[in-house]
Amino acid sequence: MKPAPFEYHAPETAAEAATLLGELGDGAKVLAGGQSLVPMLALRLAVFEHLVDIGRVAELQGIERRDDALWIGAGTTQARIEASDEVASAVPLLTKVTPFIGHFQIRNRGTVGGSIAHADPAAEYPAVALALDATMHVTSSKGGRTIAARDFFDGLWTTTMEADDLLVGASFPIWSGRRGFAVEEFARRHGDFAIAGATIGVELDDADRIGRCAIGLIGLGSTPERAEAAEAELVGRPIADMEPDDVGRLAMAGLRSVPDDLHGSAEFRTRVGAAMVARAWRTASTEAGRG
Amino acid sequence: MGEVPVHLTVNGRRREETVEPRLTLADFLRDRCHLTGTHLGCEHGVCGACTVLVDGAAVRSCLMFAVQADGADVTTIEGVASPDGDLSTVQAAFRDCHGLQCGFCTPGFVMSVTAFLRDNPRPTDEQIREALSGTLCRCTGYQGILKAVRQAADAGQRGERS
């Protein structure tokens, strides 16, 4: 047994889980799929007196259309998202990004809520949530509320949720019309965290101009990043005028905290990031053009 | 920090135990069920040696607490061969193709490949490589393992026992 001892709680409803988190305070942590938390416990990088296992809370599971968005319960596994026809038609970027998460054995346990709440800047779902303007649904013993993705990711492994908050689900806006999506990552081995990556959505208007675009960046900051200045620059331009390499360069402008470590210097990561954006842009805009 | 009861099925046999919540499923299988075929390499989710099937899904048993498997149906490497000892198609293919050398990683590979071929009976070579990428082997250089999965897939296609 490697983790330090903890008290185990297995609530059956979200309300019960929220009450427990309210009562137990800072010493408690939510256990979802455990694919990030359990390694941290095993290495004793994290120690908690209480784990609140949400794996048996049925209302946290599921995928359904709600108005113009696709709601996915926080406890829904990555494997289920990967295999879902509903996700593939409503939010194709999620379907495309999921195979990049770990390995299939990890995706069998890992959850969308766990990934978003863990807020690793090199993880896939946080970058997609940010790029697509997803809305996080949060509950606590004080009641429920929503947090926009742009207000959610606060720093390395840190979100604006309070210690007694439970992430219930995330709503991803559904794009219609002539749209294209693509993901590119560079990692030393498949399944490793990426050195840099890009998740891109493009929507074209009737005149082949860029009606909307979303550029989420992986591994290029202390939080997932979004190339907002580049997006603003691109919207309204004819798609044919945009060279993918230029889009890549544009997307790297304004990044302030690119990691610089033994896996790669900040300069190297920025060059890789520009190349990933360029490749993903080419694929996404071609797909949109066919739509 | 109290102990909690768990009830689960391992290789078809009911198990009822009381465990510390921090006991991983891997340690439960090895220390409580004495099923030491599930190997522990890294104990933090990287090497894949401890892979077992939980309700049919291949998962790393070091990244799951036994209490989380309460009520589940678990299959370990000991439950893969037929009761009379005949190797499964995947096991036989590993033997035939030199898919193992020291054997430490082999239980994890066999469990992962068993689930993978059940869900993808006609895999491409690229899909096989991707499916194997979550398990580490330090002896074989992987070529024999790739060959073994291809042989097992082809045998499955011919309708031989799996």
CB-CB neighbors (< 8 A) of B65 in chain A? 8, 34, 38
pLDDT above 70 (res A63): yes
Residue B20's domain spans which residues? 4-77
Straight-line distance from the first to the last Cα atom of chain A, in angstroms, rounded to the nearest whole number? 54
pLDDT above 80 (res B160): no
**Secondary element (H or E) of residue B16:** strand B13-19
Q: pLDDT band for position B158 (50/70/90)?
A: confident
Residues 6+ apart with CB under 8 A from B37: B76, B77, B78, B107
Residue with tokens 């990711």: A153
Q: Residue B63 maps to which CATH number?
A: 3.10.20.30
Question: A185-234, pLDDT tens digit by residue?
Answer: 999 887 788 999 999 999 999 999 999 999 999 999 999 999 999 999 99
Q: Which two tokens mark A52?
A: 């609140």
Number of domains in chain B: 2
Residue where a domain stops, chosen among B24, B52, B77: B77
CA angle B55, A5, A43 (to 5 degrees): 80
The three-state secondary structure class of A100 is helix
Are the CB atoms for A115 and A125 separated by under 8 Å? yes
Q: pLDDT band for position A254 (50/70/90)?
A: confident
Please judge whether B63 and A10 are an interchain contact, meaning their C-beta atoms are less than 8 angstroms apart. Answer: no
CB-CB neighbors (< 8 A) of B24 in chain A? 1-2, 38
CB-CB neighbors (< 8 A) of B1 in chain A? 5-7
Please judge whether A190 and B64 are an interchain contact, meaning their C-beta atoms are less than 8 angstroms apart. Answer: no
Any idea where the domains of chain A sit in the sequence? 7-53, 58-173, 178-290
* Rg of chain A in Å (alpha carbons): 19
Q: Would residue B135 count as lying in a domain? A: yes
Neighbours of B143 (CB within 10 A): 11
Q: Assess whether B9 and B73 both reside in one domain.
A: yes
> For B31, which residue in chain A has the nearest alpha carbon?
A1
Q: Assess whether B102 and B73 both reside in one domain.
A: no
Q: Assess whether B95 and B70 both reside in one domain.
A: no
Q: Would residue B83 count as lying in a domain? A: no
Q: pLDDT band for position B92 (50/70/90)?
A: very high
> For A80, which residue in chain B has the nearest alpha carbon?
B57
Between the CA of residue A209 and those of A175, A179, A241, B91, what are the distances in Å? 16, 12, 9, 56
pLDDT above 70 (res B155): yes
Question: B119-128, pLDDT tens digit by residue?
Answer: 999 999 999 9
Q: Assess whether B59 and B97 both reside in one domain.
A: no
User: Whole-angstrom Cα distance, residue A204 to residue B93?
Assistant: 51
Residue where a domain stops, chosen among B77, B100, B118: B77
The three-state secondary structure class of A153 is strand
Residue where a domain stops, chosen among B46, B77, B108: B77
Q: Residue B112 maps to which CATH number?
A: 1.10.150.120
Residues 6+ apart with CB under 8 A from B90: B80, B110, B113, B114, B117, B148, B149, B152, B162
Equal fold, A7-53 vs A58-173: no
Smallest Cβ–Cβ distance between B1 and the set A5, A43, A191 belongs to A5
CA angle B101, B48, A94 (to 5 degrees): 135
Average confidence score pLDDT of chain A: 96
Task: For chain A, list residues whose CB is within 8 angstroms of any CB belonging to chain B.
Answer: 1-8, 10, 31, 34-35, 38-39, 41-43, 51, 53, 55, 79, 99, 102-106, 108-109, 189-191
**Residues in B 41-60 with any Cβ partner in A closer than 8 A:** 43-45, 48, 51, 57-60
Q: Assess whether B113 and B69 both reside in one domain.
A: no
Q: Give CB contacts under 8 A, 24+ apart, made by A83-86.
A: none
User: How many separate helices (H) and strands (E) can be counted in chain A?
Assistant: 11, 14
Smallest Cβ–Cβ distance between B43 and the set A2, A55, A190 belongs to A2
Q: pLDDT band for position A291 (50/70/90)?
A: confident
CB-CB neighbors (< 8 A) of A51 in chain B? 21
Q: Would residue B82 count as lying in a domain? A: no
CATH number, span A7-53: 3.30.43.10
| Percent of chain A clearing pLDDT 90 (strictly above) | 95
Residue B159 has a pLDDT of: 77
Residues 6+ apart with CB under 8 A from A39: B44, B45, B63
Please judge whether B58 and A35 are an interchain contact, meaning their C-beta atoms are less than 8 angstroms apart. Answer: no
Q: Which of B159, B157, B146, B148 is nearest to B96 (CA)?
A: B148
Q: Which two tokens mark B2?
A: 């109290």
The letter for the amino acid at A275 is A
CB-CB neighbors (< 8 A) of A106 in chain B? 45, 60, 63, 134
> For A55, which residue in chain B has the nearest alpha carbon?
B68
Q: Would residue B58 count as lying in a domain? A: yes
Dihedral, CA atoms, A237, A238, A241, A245, nearest 10 degrees?
A: 60
Q: Assess whether B97 and B32 both reside in one domain.
A: no
What's the whole-model pTM score? 0.96
Find the mean pLDDT for residues A133-149. 97
Query: Minimal Cα–Cα distance from B27 to chain A, Å?
Result: 7
Residue with tokens 């359904």: A64
Q: Would residue B30 count as lying in a domain? A: yes
Question: A74-105, pLDDT tens digit by residue?
Answer: 999 999 999 999 999 999 999 999 999 999 99
CB-CB neighbors (< 8 A) of B134 in chain A? 102-106, 191
Q: Assess whether B72 and B31 both reside in one domain.
A: yes
The letter for the amino acid at B102 is C
> For B61, which residue in chain A has the nearest alpha carbon?
A105
**Residues in B 84-123 with any Cβ partner in A closer than 8 A:** 112, 116
pLDDT above 60 (res B31): yes
Query: Measured between CB atoms, does B126 come within 8 Å of chain A?
Result: no
CATH number, span A58-173: 3.30.465.10
CATH number, span A178-290: 3.30.390.50
